[in-house]
A = this chain, B = another copy of it.
């Protein structure tokens, strides 16, 4: 696991493609908030560059304050690490997610690490300030994004504090599926499947369990033909059963700010 400054690599492809948002496929995400052309242009003006990182790279270290990025493609997780090395993953970032906004308030306590090769869009360091000053619409969307994050973390706390192992795993799977669906990353041919490049250790750190126990939970879900995680692909054979186990209150899809 290497740590490196985000200036490590130059973006690939012709220069004309570097800072462009014109063909950004994320603009068509489900639940994306509507923005005017002027607002879109304002955002594009804040984009600094787009670059590639490989798996296992620490995008944002604990204590880092400034810097605003979005995950253009690939996977990452956000984790809080305790002094003795115990680690809790608090969020999985998927394409379109904003990374680094937390630093606005105070140096964050969490780190962000890629789980796969990824493409990252970097924005101006003071992008948040500029957006807040530019248009109350941005303020509202940014606030909504932050509050939605808090809401997800509340639910995570309830999951970690009050659900048992199999419920926690099912919960993660349901969330991964729903969020993948929101960015059109789900394959529905036959059974439901989507990419989810998590090792047992990562799942353990996300659920507050151990890899050994994760393994036995996965076996249980597999043998009951509910869901299978294999080869970085999550396959859901029985979504209803999975949701039943997760006890997931059909999450109201929140409109999402896509930069």
Contact B153 A143 (CB under 8 A): no
For A153, give its contact among B82, B129, B153, B254 (CB under 8 Å). Answer: B153
Instruction: A148 to B128: give the CA distance in the assembly, Å.
Output: 15
> Do B160 and A157 touch across chains, with their CB atoms under 8 A apart?
yes
Q: How far is the CB of A252 from chain B (nearest CB, A)?
A: 6
Question: Can you name 30 A-B pairs with beta carbons within 8 Å?
Answer: A80-B154, A80-B158, A82-B162, A82-B247, A83-B247, A84-B247, A86-B162, A87-B162, A88-B158, A90-B154, A101-B147, A102-B151, A104-B147, A105-B143, A105-B151, A105-B254, A106-B148, A106-B252, A106-B254, A108-B151, A109-B154, A110-B154, A133-B136, A136-B139, A142-B143, A143-B146, A146-B146, A146-B150, A153-B153, A153-B157
- Give the number of residues in A that approach B within 8 Å (Cβ atoms): 51
A150 CB, min distance to chain B CBs, angstroms: 5
**Which residues 138-190 of A sit at the B interface, judged by CB distance below 8 A?**
139-140, 142-151, 153-158, 160-163
Cβ 8 A contact of A157, one of B104, B146, B156: B156
- Minimum Cβ distance to chain B for residue A91 (Å): 8
Residue of B nearest to A139 (CB): B139
Given A87-B162, A161-B207, A161-B208, the answer on whether A106 and B151 have CB atoms closer than 8 Å is yes
Knowing A128-B143, A143-B139 are in contact, say whether A158-B90 is a contact too (CB < 8 A): yes
Q: Is A249 in the interface zone, CB < 8 Å from B?
A: yes
A161-B158 in contact (CB<8A): no
Interface set of A (CB-CB < 8 Å, partner B): 78, 80, 82-84, 86-88, 90, 101-102, 104-110, 128-129, 132-133, 136, 139-140, 142-151, 153-158, 160-163, 207-208, 247, 249, 252, 254
User: Majority SS of interface residues in chain A?
Assistant: helix
Task: Tell me whether A80 and B140 are in contact (CB under 8 A).
Answer: no
The residues of B that contact A158 with a CB separation of less than 8 Å are 80, 82, 86, 88, 90
Which of chain B's residues have a CB closer than 8 A to the CB of A133? 136
Q: Does the CB pair B107–A252 fall under 8 Å? A: yes
- Asked whether B160 lies within 8 Å of A208 as measured between CB atoms, the reply is yes
Known: A82-B163, A128-B143, A146-B150. 8 other contacts (CB 8 A): A80-B155, A105-B143, A105-B144, A106-B148, A129-B140, A132-B143, A133-B136, A157-B160
Cα distance A126–B148 in the bound complex, in angstroms: 18
